[in-house]
Structure 1
Amino acid sequence: MDEVYVESEFAPLRTVVLARSEVSIPSSAVSSDGLRFLPPEARDSISAGGDMRDFAPERQARWEKEREAFRAVLERYGARVLRPRPLTPAEKAADGDGYANFFVRDPFFTVGDQVVEGSMRLLHRRREVLPLREVMRDHVYPADCAYVAVPVPEVAAPGDPTLGPGPFLEGGDVLVLGRKVFVGVSGLASNALGVRWLAKFLAPHGYTVETVRLHERVLHLDCALGLVREGLLVACEEALPDGVPDALAGWERITVDLDRASSLAVNGLPLGPDAYVTDPEFSFLGREIEKHGVHVEYVDFSVTRSLGGSFRCSTQPLLRTY
Structure 2
Amino acid sequence: MIDIYVNDETSELKAVILGTAQQLGGEPTVEEAYDPKSIEHIKNGTYPTEEVVHKEIEAFAAVLKKHNVEVYRPEVLEDCNQIFSRDIGFVIEDKFVRPRILKDRKDEIIGIQYILDQIPEANKLEVPEGGRVEGGDVMPWHDHIFVGYSKEEDFKKYVVSRTNEEGVEFLKSSFPNKKVMAFELKKSDIDPKENALHLDCCFQPIGTDKAIVYKGGFKNVEDYEFLVNFFGKENIFEITKDEMYHMNSNVFSISEKVIVSEQNFTRLNTWLEEQGFTVERIPYSETAKMEGLLRCSTLPIKRVKK
TM tier relative to shorter chain: 0.7 to 0.9
Aligned residues: 281
1:147 equivalent in alignment to 2:103: no
**TM-score where L is the length of structure 2:** 0.85
* 1:50 corresponds to: none
* 1:108 corresponds to: 89
Residues 106, 172 of structure 1: 8 Å contact kept? yes
* 1:133 corresponds to: 113
1:294 equivalent in alignment to 2:281: no
CA-CA distance at 1:61 after TM superposition? 1.2
Summarize the alignment of residues 1-322 of structure 1 with structure 2, pairs less than 5 Å apart. 2-21=2-21, 22-24=23-25, 25=28, 27-30=30-33, 34-36=34-36, 38=38, 40-41=40-41, 44-45=44-45, 59-87=49-77, 99-121=80-102, 123-138=103-118, 140-141=119-120, 146-152=123-129, 166-186=130-150, 187=155, 188-203=161-176, 206-216=177-187, 217-240=195-218, 241-242=220-221, 243-246=224-227, 248-250=230-232, 252-322=235-305
Residues 39, 263 of structure 1: 8 Å contact kept? no
Amino acid at match of 1:179: D
Residues 226, 234 of structure 1: 8 Å contact kept? yes
Secondary structure at the aligned position of 2:265 is classed as: helix
Call closer, same or farther: CA 1:277–1:201 in 2, change over 3 Å: same
Residues 30, 43 of structure 2: 8 Å contact kept? no
Secondary structure at the aligned position of 1:245 is classed as: helix
RMSD: 2.2
CA-CA distance at 1:39 after TM superposition? 7.5
For residues 285 and 239 of structure 2, what CA distance do their matches in structure 1 show?
18
Residues 210, 231 of structure 2: 8 Å contact kept? no
CA-CA distance at 1:23 after TM superposition? 3.6
Amino acid at match of 1:210: M
CA-CA distance at 1:12 after TM superposition? 0.5
CA-CA distance at 1:41 after TM superposition? 3.3
Residues 89, 135 of structure 2: 8 Å contact kept? yes
Secondary structure at the aligned position of 1:176 is classed as: strand
Call closer, same or farther: CA 1:228–1:43 in 2, change over 3 Å: farther
Call closer, same or farther: CA 1:171–1:45 in 2, change over 3 Å: farther
For residues 37 and 239 of structure 1, what CA distance do their matches in structure 2 show?
15
Amino acid at match of 1:295: T
Residues 167, 191 of structure 1: 8 Å contact kept? yes
Call closer, same or farther: CA 1:43–1:272 in 2, change over 3 Å: farther
For residues 42 and 184 of structure 1, what CA distance do their matches in structure 2 show?
27
Secondary structure at the aligned position of 1:272 is classed as: coil
CA-CA distance at 1:146 after TM superposition? 1.2
CA-CA distance at 1:208 after TM superposition? 2.3
CA-CA distance at 1:141 after TM superposition? 2.9
Amino acid at match of 2:131: P
For residues 42 and 245 of structure 1, what CA distance do their matches in structure 2 show?
37
Residues 15, 82 of structure 1: 8 Å contact kept? yes
Residues 30, 42 of structure 2: 8 Å contact kept? no
CA-CA distance at 1:29 after TM superposition? 3.5
Residues 256, 265 of structure 1: 8 Å contact kept? yes
**TM-score where L is the length of structure 1:** 0.81
For residues 38 and 225 of structure 2, what CA distance do their matches in structure 1 show?
23
Amino acid at match of 1:85: E
